[in-house]
Each structure stands twice: as structure tokens, then as C-alpha cells.
Amino acid sequence: MYKVVEVPNDVLRQQCQRVTKFDKKLGKMIDRMFDTMYEYDGVGLAAPQINQPIRVAVVHTDDETGPVELINPEIIEASGSEIDDEGCLSMPGIFGPVERFEQIVVKSQDRLGRNVKIKANGFFARAIQHEMDHLDGILFTDKLVEKPRVVFMGTPEFAANTLREVIDAGYDVVGVVSQPDKPVGRKREIKPTPVKEVALAHDIPVLQPIKIREDYQALLDLKPDLIITAAYGQIVPTVVLEAPRFGAINVHASLLPKYRGGAPIHQAIIDGETETGVTIMYMVDRLDAGDMLSKIIVPIEERDTVGTMFDKLSAAGARLLIETLPQLIAGTLTPEAQQEEDVTFSPNISRERERLDFSRSGEDLYNQIRGMNPFPSAYTTLGTDRLKVYFAEKVPGTGTPGEIIALEADGPVIATGSEIALKLTDLQPAGKKRMDGTTFMRGVGQTLTIGQKVGEQA
């Protein structure tokens, strides 16, 4: 067993030499390095830590990845970003947050000189990067990043996913602000918001002011260094936005300056866009008007709905935020002002906009249906009863707008104001559960006739 070299020692600051001789002496040294690492209760050890300035390290984080020997290692692929605390056998009792790649692929050699490739994720990847730094004379304290006190503001599942990622990346979330709990379902039971549920699961204090513009002192008392918002649902006052030294940023589900407002996902689909995305921006006391910090583009596929895009954009936004935060904290980002001439808005969906007007084109109606699925949902009427429509298929067909021109096994076909008709394949009749078109045609559909009209003409 070796004695581990501790700071300060010049050998820990040397650029180590490549290994060119693969012999029994090298193999014995590696075996003793493993013994030393285990004795010191470590997960990695580099050759300079045993006073040998050569490019050799050993790592053993768990039995699944197994003990790994690294000789002349090089990172050839890397992705993701994660901040977490590290320590070092050469600096006992010292710990601090370091940003590392989350996934890496390393090209290395074994003790016989054979080339090997190692894929590593999470803690395993972190340990390898830590030991490889030693081979270049770098200590983990050289890479310490500040852990700002973060207050997260958000309400729905879109924001909950973002909060999970912020917590998992190791940021110090000292408080969460969410909308007040509301009754849900037929029984009108009070249920916590998705963001509140995540916060409580991680023992993070939760504030739920009815009006944040009037009731914000408890938030300021948390002394945030950074505020992150995502679909919070209220306008945040300037006094709050100006409090954190790193500012207040928002995760907005559009490619700003397009689609400012409360329903950017809905509106992008309703407008027939083929792509949207997420923008990270500074918050100001105007609706989604702050300078932009980063963006990511997310395609909108032909059959995407608000529901599917909600999930895609939530995941993309969380990833983008985690990639953006280290640069924001380090001060290496250059904010970009929004061009006012390119601004468009996406107001919350009103009840009037939910109604299907079959005098419009089939393409527009198809996009309207997708842009309101699953919430708030588009609708038409059968007689005096409301019929919610969650999805439809575009099919060729003409007739008087709103006229039933075919009754197929998987749904009724309705004429529109164009040569594209719509087959309603996912519906919810008044007083019944949501159902597919086939189920509908076996029930309510049996009462329909060719030539019957739906909608305002009915």
C-alpha cells in the first residue's frame, strides 16, 4: 500500500507523462493503487497522488461498473452537465461543488497496452473526470462553482419536471413558490400543485401567495441569489425580480419573441407551426419581454397535440436550463434583446375559441383540435348537446360545412369549408367518458344519419 500525497505538494501540480512501457512493474503499481484506494475508503486514485507523475489512474465507484484502470486516458465524447459536491484523498475534509459532464466516453489502455473504450454516466463519469484532472495537475478546488440560493416559481407538471432537474443537478433550492391549491375532479378535492408535490418530496419549503404582487416578503426573506420561473401563473413584481444578484429567469415554451403569453404551446399548434421550442430569458415587469439567454428548437410533428408537445417541451426546457445555469452563474452569457417587430402573442384560450366552426378549412380545424388536446378541448354540438373532439383524421370529402357526409366504423366524417373533411376519431359526448371513434359509433353514432349537421347549424 502507498501513502497518499496531500496538498501542498508539487507532484500534484505536474503535467503527467504518458505511459510507454507496459510491464509487470506497471501492473504491480496498479494493484497497489487499488489496495491504497480501498484502504483510504476512496473511489478513485491517480498516480501523482502516490508521487508517480505518470498518466495512470484507478476508479471503482460500484460493483456494477467494476474496478477500472485508466492508462493514458482521453475523453472522446461528452454530453450533459451536472453540479455536485466532490472531495479528494489528497485534500481530506474539503468538499465543494464542481461542474462535470454527465456522460462521457473515454479512450484508454489497460496494463497490457491494449486499447479500451469506457462509457460512463453520473457518479462513475464524475469520478473518472476527477482522476483525469489529477493527471494534468488540476485539483477539484480549481473548478469549484458557486451554489447560488435558488427560489423556484412554478405550478403545473411542465414546471415540476424542470424543478426535478434543477434539484437533481445539485442546485440549492431554498424555497418554492406555487399557485394556491385548488379543488379538482368531480369530488372537488383540494390537491397540491405538481410543483408543490415535488418540493414536499424533497423537504423544500413552499409558499403559495394568492397575489404575489402584494404578498412577497416571505419570498424575499429566503434571500435568493437566483429566481427560476416556469409556468408560474402570476405576474411577478419588479421588487422581487430585482432582488437576486444573478437575476430572475424564466423557462418559456416558445421561440421568443414569437408567442409571448400564457398559451404558447396551444397557439403554435393551432397556427400550424412545424417547429417551436423553449427560450430561457431574464424576467422583466412586462409579459415575456426580457432579454433572451438561450434557445432550443423542438419540431412539431403532424400528429402532435398540446399533450405530446407539453411533454417534449418540458423535457427540452429542463435540459436547456441545466445547460444554461453554469454559464449564467459564471457570467459568460451574452443576453440578446427581443426584436419588438417580431413579437406575436398567445393569449389564454377562451371558451369561444374552443368551438369548431366547420366553415373553416379542414386543415385549420385539424390544427385547432390538436391545439386543444387534451385541454381545454375543442367541441361542436349534436343538437343541443355538446360533443368534445380530441382528435380527427383528415380525409378527402366535400359537402355543406358541418354536414355528416359519411358514417364509418371508426367515426363520423364531417364536411368543412375545404376539400379536406374530418373523421372524428377521439370524442366525448355530453355526460359520457372520452372514447375512441369506434366505441362512439357503436353507441351515440347509431343515432346519426348522413346529411345531418353538427355545430351551429344543428
For 418-440, the pLDDT digits (tens) are: 999 999 999 999 999 999 999 99
Residue 6 has pLDDT above 80, yes or no: yes
State yes or no: is 49 an active-site residue: yes
End-to-end CA distance of the chain: 88
Q: How far apart are CA 8 and CA 90, in angstroms?
A: 9
CA-only gyration radius of the chain, Å: 29
Query: Using CA atoms, how far apart are residues 378 and 387, in angstroms rounded to an integer?
Result: 9
Using pLDDT thresholds of 50, 70 and 90, give the confidence band for residue 457: very low
> In the Cβ-directed half-sphere of 361, how many Cα atoms lie within 13 Å?
6
Establish whether 15 is a catalytic residue. Answer: no
**How crowded is residue 96: how many other Cβ atoms within 10 Å of its Cβ?**
16
Longest Cα pair distance anywhere in the chain, in angstroms? 91
Among candidate residues 60, 134, 252, 266, the one labeled active-site is 134
> Pick from 27, 41, 44, 33: which is nearest to 3 by CA?
33
Rounded distance, CA 85 to CA 189, Å?
41
Q: Which one from 82, 131, 165, 403 is the annotated catalytic residue?
A: 131
Q: Does the annotation count 134 as an active-site position?
A: yes
Q: What is the distance between the alpha carbons of residues 66 and 99, in angstroms, rounded to a whole number? A: 24
130 labelled catalytic: yes
> Catalytic pick from 44, 247, 362, 371?
44
16 is catalytic: no
Question: Which pairs from 437-444 meet CB under 8 Å and 24+ separation?
Answer: 437/408, 437/410, 437/411, 437/412, 438/409, 438/410, 438/411, 440/411, 440/412, 441/407, 441/408, 441/409, 441/410, 441/411, 441/412, 444/382
Catalytic residue among 16, 42, 45, 49: 49
For the entire predicted model, the pTM comes to: 0.75
> 93-97, 309-313, 411-415, 416-420: which has the minimum mean pLDDT?
93-97
What pLDDT, on the 0 to 100 scale, is given for residue 202?
Answer: 95
The chain-wide mean pLDDT, for the chain, equals 94
Question: What was the pLDDT predicted at 458?
Answer: 40
**277 strand-pairing partners:** 297
Q: Catalytic: which of 12, 26, 130, 135?
A: 130
Please confirm, yes or no, whether 220 is among the known catalytic residues.
no
Cβ neighbours for 178, distance < 8 A, ≥ 6 positions apart: 153, 154, 155, 193, 195, 196, 199, 206, 207, 208, 232
Q: Which of 26, 45, 70, 89 is catalytic?
A: 89
pLDDT tier for residue 170 given thresholds of 50, 70 and 90 = confident
> Is the pLDDT confidence value at 456 over 70?
no
Task: Answer whether 157's CB lies under 8 Å from 197's CB.
Answer: no
